[in-house]
Chain A
Amino acid sequence: AAGVIQSPRHLIKEKRETATLKCYPIPRHDTVYWYQQGPGQDPQFLISFYEKMQSDKGSIPDRFSAQQFSDYHSELNMSSLELGDSALYFCASSPGTSGGGEQFFGPGTRLTVL
């Protein structure tokens, strides 16, 4: 079965650079979620999209922006990178926004900021 695809899997950037993370949800899933997991931490919700519109927003810095495109893939854009942005970034997808159901996680993008 098709799973959530994230690219790149690993990314190394310098401070103050920009990074773009991509997420391709499971086919026919119209909702995408982004999570950030710092070293030794639990994942924290950043932002979500349903039918290409932002549906919820968590603790996402103003330096970050995201969007969902017509083919439902999503991109997380991160500017003016800081050392503290080094983390594992997960994308998850689900069909619809009905509360309670499973979200399917991608393998994550490991971002290292030097």
Chain B
Amino acid sequence: AQKITQTQPGMFVQEKEAVTLDCTYDTSDPSYGLFWYKQPSSGEMIFLIYQGSYDQQNATEGRYSLNFQKARKSANLVISASQLGDSAMYFCAMRPRDDKIIFGKGTRLHILP
């Protein structure tokens, strides 16, 4: 079965610290994409970072990096130097071969001043 698991329902982190949001996935498809989205209280779904299953290197986008460990089926998001504006819900998601995106339950991140 295709599944995304986020085990941290909520996290509190001090401003300027790095934070790691955990994500594990399950799929039997050899080709898939992994994503992280940020959803602030306004509701929009903001794309952060993408990792393809065949990509050799971990994806990075500014302060965001994806720690991709294919053998462990994990795709953790690392946010460096956290900011107050990073407070939001974060969804890990997977797009296997059959196209629809499967989301995890999300992690609500709170950045403390």
Q: Which listed residue, B44, B47, B91, B105, touches A108 by the CB 8 Å rule?
A: B44
Q: Are A108 and B43 in contact (CB under 8 A)?
A: yes
Docked complex Cα distance between A84 and B44 (Å): 21
The verdict on A33 contacting chain B, using a C-beta distance below 8 Å, is yes
B1-45 contacts to A (CB < 8 Å): 29, 31-33, 35, 37, 43-45
Interface extent on A, as a size class?
20 to 34
Q: Are B45 and A90 in contact (CB under 8 A)?
A: yes
Chain B interface, >50% SS class = loop
Q: Are B45 and A105 in contact (CB under 8 A)?
A: yes
Question: Given A99-B98, A108-B44, are A43 and B103 also a contact pair (CB < 8 Å)?
Answer: yes
Docked complex Cα distance between A100 and B55 (Å): 12
The verdict on A101 contacting chain B, using a C-beta distance below 8 Å, is yes
Interface extent on B, as a size class?
20 to 34
Q: Are B103 and A42 in contact (CB under 8 A)?
A: yes
Residue of chain A at shortest CB distance from B91: A42
Q: Are A103 and B97 in contact (CB under 8 A)?
A: no
Q: A31 to chain B: which residues have CB within 8 Å?
A: 99
Q: B29 to chain A: which residues have CB within 8 Å?
A: 99
Residue of chain A at shortest CB distance from B102: A45
The verdict on A8 contacting chain B, using a C-beta distance below 8 Å, is no
A77-114 contacts to B (CB < 8 Å): 88, 90, 92, 97, 99-105, 107-108, 110
Q: Are A100 and B43 in contact (CB under 8 A)?
A: no
Docked complex Cα distance between A99 and B31 (Å): 7
Q: Which listed residue, B31, B35, B50, B100, touches A58 by the CB 8 Å rule?
A: B100
Contacts A/B (CB < 8 Å), 22 sampled: A33-B100, A42-B91, A42-B103, A42-B105, A43-B91, A43-B101, A45-B102, A55-B99, A58-B100, A99-B31, A99-B95, A99-B98, A99-B99, A100-B32, A100-B52, A100-B53, A100-B97, A101-B95, A102-B35, A102-B95, A105-B45, A108-B45
